Structure 1
Amino acid sequence: MTSKKLLRVATVLIASCVLCTGTLAAKGAKKTPVSARQPAAGPAYATREDVMREADDIAQRRDLDRDWVRQAVGQARYLPAAARLMQPPPAGTPKNWRVYRSRFVEPIRIAAGVRFWQAHAGTLARAEQEYGVPAEIIVGIIGVETIYGQQMGNFRVMDALTTLAFDFPTSHPRARERAAFFKGELEQFLSQESRIGGDPMAPLGSYAGAMGMPQFMPSSWVKYAVDNDGDGRIDLVNSPSDVIGSVANYFKAFGWQPGMPTHYPVRFDAERLDKETLLLPDILPTFSVASFMAKGAVLEGEALQHPGPLALIELQNGGDEPSYVAGTENFYVITRYNWSSYYAMAVIELGQAVKSALPR
């Protein structure tokens, strides 16, 4: 497997994204009864000997109470929807940037983003100064992920992680790698819940086990979440300040470069164009400005002075001509949140739309 593919595999497993585990259970946050919100679930895992053996191994590796781990894992239930939603789209399914964009850069999210920015302008400004990440990128992420906390997921996280750890669909082209990833996330989730004294059956999130406004996975919560409001706890569900600081810290950790644009306009010189070579590295910035232009890409203005590598980003538009931009290392950093170039561009353009809509 190439290094590029390894990077893509590692990143896609992060996702998209999230975690504010059962901190809420320990902090008295209000909850809607699970029975009223949970998608249909299958049998409990207590009857699976292989799963219970793994529960024992988790307890031993993490030095957790064996009975507590067995009870938590045994109570988890198989989620058919989680397994189904993990399947990739059928081969040959056309991508369409314009349709994808319309799901995120639209009036409801923009209006919600304006309200969020106005309510937390000081915190966003402080995060931008401390971490170097522009406010519009932070706002774009939170808006794309959960519409600023309006849609944080209604899957019980314990069910989702256990399902994907032990019943990841075998037809998926990377089933073994994905199942191993989710086993690690389940282990991290249980370790965190034990540490804070939380109820592992309480937190709700996405079908992948991602939680909170920024949708961090358990391992991302441990590595990147910060107590930005200084109240002594990290709350990615109810504390916009912690959410803002954590998203900014995530990008800083992955190499965000302050002041660098995310992308530049690009057009082509048809006579010199070697698009196949330009697209070969996918979203990984590889070409210097000189080598980029030597392959028939045409840059103008400030792009000509760009100091780092570039990637040719192709956004397909169904049956119409694709859209193209020259992506920088900061564009690539956004794809560490979700490896899709479509996702990264939606984050960028939603953030820009919210910024433009702010009252002057």
Structure 2
Amino acid sequence: MKRFLAIAALSIASSACPASATAPKHPQKAAPKQAGKATPKASAAQGTTSYASRAEALRFADDLAARRGLDREWVRQAIGQARFLPRVPQLMLPPPKGQAKNWNAYRSRFVEPVRIRAGLRFWQENAATLARAEQQYGVPAEIIVGIIGVETIYGQHMGGFRVMDALATLAFDFPAAHPRAAERQAFFQRELEQFLSLCDRTGMDPFTPRGSYAGAMGMPQFMPSSWARWAVDFDGDGRIDLFGSPADAIGSVASYFQAHGWVTGMPTHYAVDFDAQRLQLDTLLAPDILPSFSPASMADKGVLPLGAGAQHPGQLALVELQNGGDAPVYVAGTENFYVVTRYNWSSYYALAVIELGQAVAAARDNAR
């Protein structure tokens, strides 16, 4: 889905790829397994003009090859054969200002019968692997199930864009109208570099993988830097395959959360009540989703974390989820809620992941 970009939750650049199998160095590299790969639509996912005639793209290729120690002609050929995807820059633009957010509408896209049934099958088929990931990384199975369900419906929809084309388009033609255009373009140039380095290390043909319009790949929709830094060979076959191996996808999501500070046993959020006489809503919302208030401090400002939230040992954030013209929904997010937003920088996304995982867990309990 990565349309809020995973987008950016997967935005940290990285170094070497762990546990990758040794492969021949250069062209025609072995393709990864891609169970359930979508067929790209010509209007959206197939490119038009190539980057072979773009001097800045070839200069980037030469610089990348020199810095990474890659074969210069292979890198130039890969970038030169990449094609501009005219729809992709449009998809990167933020929604128009004033467009109301609606938590209930957003939630209904993800916490719904199709994903819940698919999640139940996924959990039943991979129960031992999910239990092993939870034991090894401390991340609950329902969070892992929620992520993979929201991202790709458990591998059913992994994206139809050639990753090479999507990353090249965003590296060299990121839309100037974006409010953070320079920063985002630099990010995608780093991701293109990481992707070609990954292909070089693993023997993957750069033009085989399909993914999101932002270049996210596989069942968990990892950006190349996240694949390089946090993906793991959880099925022990000597290679990392986020397209075809549910075990690798499960272990990699758990690895990502552990690396981003997941605290084992901590809830993600608590319900809240308001004390209207003391309410300092603007002050509590100012840090956004960054946990910044103790339960006592939050209560002093008129928001009372309920249940165990009143004794929460760490900091909390007041999370507001707007509901169109209806009243917003509020929760007190913990450090673990914040960790979920590191996968995708959106409180709406995080709560959808959490509630889908809970719904699948409830379906599993009922099926026993």
- TM interval, short-chain normalised: over 0.9
Partners of 1:40 and 1:213 lie apart in 2 by: 21
Alignment of 1:215-230 (within 5 A): 215-230=221-236
Q: Which residue of 1 aligns with 2:323?
A: 317
Describe the superposition over 1:59-91 as per-residue Cα deviations: whole angstroms up to 9, x where unpaired.
111111110000000000001121111000000
- Which of 8, 19, 26 is the matching residue for 1:13? 8
Question: Which amino acid is the alignment partner of residue 279 of structure 2?
Answer: L
Q: What is the CA-CA distance between 1:190 and the residue it aligns to?
A: 0.6
Aligned-partner residue type, residue 353 of structure 1: A
Task: Indicate conservation of the 8 Å contact 2:116/2:356, yes or no.
Answer: yes
Q: Output aligned runs, 1:1-360, within 5 Å.
A: 13-15=8-10, 26=30, 29=33, 39-358=45-364, 359-360=367-368
Equivalent residue, structure 2, for 1:3: none
Structure 1 gaps of 5+ residues are: 1-8
CA contact (8 A) 2:33 2:243 kept: no
Asked whether the equivalents of residues 34 and 202 of structure 1 are also in contact (C-alpha less than 8 Å), the reply is: no
2:326 & 2:126 partners in 1: Cα distance? 40
3-state SS of the aligned residue for 1:298? strand
CA contact (8 A) 1:156 1:205 kept: yes
SS at match of 1:182: helix
Give the partner amino acid of 1:13: A
Task: Find the aligned partners of 2:319 and 2:38 in 1 and give their Cα distance.
Answer: 44
The equivalent residue for 1:4 is none
SS of 1:355's partner is: helix
The answer (yes or no) to whether the contact 1:16–1:215 under 8 Å persists in 2 is: no
> What is the CA–CA distance in structure 2 between the aligned matches of 1:325 and 1:47, rounded to whole Å?
52
Note if contact 1:117-1:124 (Cα within 8 Å) is conserved in structure 2. yes
Please report the TM-score for the alignment, with normalisation by the length of structure 2. Answer: 0.91
Matches of 2:264 and 2:217, distance apart in 1: 28
Unmatched segments (≥5 aa) in structure 2? none
Secondary structure in structure 2 of the residue aligned to 1:46: coil
SS at match of 2:30: helix
Check 1:172–1:333 CA distance in 2 against 1; reply closer, same or farther (3 A cut). Answer: same
Distance in 1 (alpha carbons) for counterparts of 2:38 and 2:158: 15
Q: CA deviation at 1:328?
A: 0.1
Q: Could you tell me how far apart the structure 2 residues matched to 1:152 and 1:338 are?
A: 16
Aligned length: 351
Q: Alpha carbons of 1:273 and 1:11: their partners in 2 closer, same or farther (altered >3 Å)?
A: farther
Q: Which amino acid aligns with 1:152?
A: M
Contact 2:32 2:241 in 1 (8 A): no
Query: Quick one: distance in 2 between partners of 1:340 and 1:238?
Result: 27
Decide whether the 8 Å contact of 1:16 with 1:216 is kept in 2.
Answer: no
C-alpha spacing 1:34/1:266, structure 2 compared with 1 (3 Å): closer
CA distance in 2, matches of 1:112, 1:163: 33
1:26 alignment partner, SS class? coil
1: distance between equivalents of 2:110 and 2:307?
Answer: 29
- Does the CA-based 8 Å contact 2:274-2:304 persist in structure 1? yes
Pairwise CA distance, 1:33:
10
1:197 to partner: Cα distance: 2.2
Shift of 1:134: 0.5
Cα distance in 1 for residues equivalent to 2:126 and 2:254: 14
Q: For 1:29 and 1:11, how far apart are their aligned partners in 2?
A: 22
**In the TM superposition, what whole-angstrom CA distance separates every residue of 1:171-222 from its partner, at most 9, and x where no partner exists?**
0000000000000000011111112222111111000000000000010001
User: Would the alpha carbon gap of residues 91 and 33 (structure 1) be closer, same or farther in structure 2, given more than 3 Å must change?
Assistant: closer
Q: Secondary structure at the match of 1:50?
A: helix
From the superposition, tell whether residues 345 and 28 of structure 1 become closer, same or farther in structure 2 (CA, over 3 Å): closer
Letter of the 1:81 partner, please give it.
R
Q: TM-score, normalised to structure 1's length?
A: 0.93
